[in-house]
Chain A
Amino acid sequence: MKCDDCLNLLAEYIDGEVIAHEAEGISAHLIVCAGCSSEFESLTAEQEIFTRYDRELDISPGMWSAIQARTVTERRPVDSRPKFNLRSSLAGLFAVPRLGFAFSGGLAVVIIAVVVGALYLKMHQQTATPETVAGNHEPILRPVNKGGGAVPPVNPTASVEGPVGENASHRTTPKTAARLKKSDDPGVLFADVAYSDLTERDTAAHIQQAENLLRSIRSLQSSDDVGEIDVSYEKAMSQRLLSENQVLRRDAEAAGKFPAKELLGDLEPFLIDIANLPDKATPDKLRAIKDRVQKTEIVAALVSY
């Protein structure tokens, strides 16, 4: 990767908004290029400054009371709306003499069209073999590359079900998943099925952020001669991820997605430990977490999700 390309994408890289192969290119470039690496550090430092921004805002206890007072009279917002009653609506329409005949005629035509259409679709589906369906839809989960080209296809089952031994560059990141072809794609039905579960997508995004956090912790210098290390950014990030993790883990459990539940359960102690670090962590505290990250291979588990 050239420096210009790297610098153009650096802010997006820090925001986690680049696709997998771009991220790999940038990571590799940052290792060898001092100039871009320095720019990366100053952007990260800038980000940390904004993390320290404290608006000193409090949620006053009176705020909820005021909201409650304003909403309590509207207790059942759904129920308070006039309910649609099919029977009375139809009766109303037929009761209008001028529309009665026209409407019933129109309704009959619509019903016939629906029945004929359903029969036609049923017959059409029966003629399609599983092979032809699979053949037609093989490339549907191909994420669209920013540059207009296509990146390698992704197995929809694998991306939903969890661990697979695929190449990291083929992994569907939440960002790439979101860039899936929209409704003009012939395979949109399969894509929709694969990603209809928003919790799954949230989980994938969450896991990627956690992965970045643990990588960041792992790369912090923690030798005794360094002194205290500022981990306020990582700490804030971990606090946010922790509450998200608890909700997602519960959702995964409720949905019977046990691999995801287990992974999130394994991740949680790390998030708790990082969230509870002081803003200036001592090297030994940091080292203890790093050692556990290393020993449990949690990053590898997150990557393979």
Chain B
Amino acid sequence: MKRLAHELSLEGQPGAFAASLMNSSADLVARASSGDQEAFRLIFERYSRPVISFIYDLVSDRSLAEELTQETFVRAFRNLHALRHETKLSTWLFGIAKNVARESLRARARDSRRVELDDKSVLDLSDKAPVPVNQLLNKELNELIQRSLAMLDDDKRLVFTLKVFQQCSYEEIADITGFSISKLKTDLHRARSEMRRRISPYVRL
């Protein structure tokens, strides 16, 4: 892997795989919107992981996240011609993914799948004292974060996920969500406080 990365970047003689990585988003979009399936496959390869992670953080359901990721890319393909030149592809895809996820959440609103913190079957740490993060098993930490995230309300979870996990800028988040910068700052601040409050009983920071 190291050798491959070195070859990609230092020799100036990128191979076929490198060429695929080097395709700029604008080129890929142009090619894909004129029907080039290979270009669209490269877009899928480049963005499917962040998109499925983002959707999973919103819906907390693995198989649903896969289904919605598929739907996101199908909608993206159908609407590539509507992608404005100045819009960043990742921002646009996250915007579609957010809409797809929200539609799904609304549809299953009555059948809420939020995991409650007192559900002992998922994670049982409540009787333990806070431990350093390194002593917490990855599985435990993942479950703790996932459950804490699921407890946030929709707007806060959306903003928190985009900022902390997807490392979007405030402006990108504003583009994706349609929120004002001041609202998203407030939501982010509150989301961080809530996450800290939920995690700190288990993890010593």
Contact = CB atoms under 8 A, between A and B. Distances in A.
Interface of A: 11-12, 15-17, 42, 45-50, 52-57, 59-60, 63-64, 66-68, 70-72, 74-79, 81, 174-175, 178, 198-199, 202, 205, 230, 240, 242-243, 245-247, 249-251, 254, 265, 268-269, 272, 275-276
Interface string B1-34: 1100110111000000010011111000000011
Contacts, number: 141
A249 B6 CA distance: 14
B203 interface: yes
Contact of A59 (B52, B165, B196): B52
B33 A54 contact: no
A163 B167 CA distance: 27
18 contacts: A11-B189, A46-B192, A46-B199, A49-B203, A52-B133, A52-B138, A53-B141, A53-B146, A54-B138, A63-B48, A76-B35, A77-B78, A77-B81, A175-B169, A178-B171, A198-B88, A240-B167, A250-B22
Nearest to A52: B141
Interface residues of B, number: 63
B3 to A, nearest CB: 10
Interface in B26-70: 33-35, 37, 40-41, 44, 48-49, 52-53, 56-57, 62, 65-66, 69-70
A12 B181 CA distance: 12
Given A77-B33, A78-B34, A246-B21, 16 more contacts: A45-B205, A49-B141, A50-B145, A55-B53, A55-B56, A57-B52, A63-B69, A67-B74, A71-B37, A76-B35, A79-B34, A240-B167, A250-B22, A269-B9, A272-B5, A276-B2
Given A53-B142, A72-B37, A250-B24, A268 B205 contact: no
Contact of A246 (B22, B40, B70, B73): B22
B44 to A, nearest CB: 6
B111 interface: no
B199 A49 contact: yes
Contacts of B179: none
B92 interface: no
A210 to B, nearest CB: 13
